[in-house]
Amino acid sequence: MLDAFSRAVVAADTKTAPIGAAEIAELKTFIANGNKRLDAVNAISSNASCIVSDAVSGMICENTGLIQSGGNCYPNRRMAACLRDGEIILRYVTYALLAGDASVLEDRCLNGLKETYTALGVPTTSTARAVGIMKAAAVAFVNNTASKRKFDVTSGDCASLAAETAGYFDRVIAAVS
């Protein structure tokens, strides 16, 4: 598992090179935006159960067959597994956002997930839809534009953190699709 710093070290070591000016500049930006990043992680983490339950119920509203006999969220045992998976995925996205690196998400959550889902008959289009709704909600929390829950934080430009957050969700969708 890497973060922005260890990634720079591994990349430099692979080239047998010292840490260069470009890497230093990139890490300076990472540090300068550190508090913003922590606020973004907090905004998502402290609303995690809301984000997950909203996404899973939205997914089901659009496809009620999921909670009928034969659907993959039926019976309650599967519904619980689905909600739990949503929480797991969102948790690993927040870890990646904190670290500024996707490896924790890739290695500990996404590695083998598609195979697991295929084996269990978990529908990938529905998974992608639920993750897509979580993405929209999480990005709104990062930008502090979520309608009901505004955070009392110094406002600034969160475009790059929002794009980074969106990118982690895109990795999840790509991994299970």
Ligand X SMILES: CCC1=C(C)/C(=C/C2=NC(=C\c3[nH]c(/C=C4\NC(=O)[C@H](C)[C@H]4CC)c(C)c3CCC(=O)O)/C(CCC(=O)O)=C2C)NC1=O
Residues contributing to the site for ligand X (CB under 6 A): 56, 66, 72-73, 78, 81-82, 85-86, 88, 108-109, 113, 116, 120, 122-123, 126-127, 130
Name which of 85 and 101 has its Cβ closer to ligand X: 85
Quote the least distance from Cβ 51 to ligand X, whole Å.
12
Pick from 128, 147, 163, 144: which is nearest to 58 by CA?
Answer: 128
Quote the least distance from Cβ 74 to ligand X, whole Å.
9
Quote the least distance from Cβ 83 to ligand X, whole Å.
7
3-state DSSP assignment of residue 15: coil
Name which of 93 and 158 has its Cβ closer to ligand X: 93
Quote the least distance from Cβ 173 to ligand X, whole Å.
12
Residues 6+ apart with CB under 8 A from 46: none
Tell me which residue has its CB nearest to ligand X. Answer: 82
For the chain, what is the radius of gyration of the CA atoms? Answer: 18
Quote the least distance from Cβ 21 to ligand X, whole Å.
38
- Cβ(168)–Cβ(93) under 8 Å? yes
3-state DSSP assignment of residue 29: helix
Name which of 97 and 158 has its Cβ closer to ligand X: 97
State how far the Cα of 11 lies from the Cα of 24, in Å rounded to an integer: 13
3-state DSSP assignment of residue 39: helix
Name which of 92 and 141 has its Cβ closer to ligand X: 92
Which two tokens mark 146? 């979520």
Name which of 72 and 144 has its Cβ closer to ligand X: 72
For residue 17, give the H/E element and its range: none
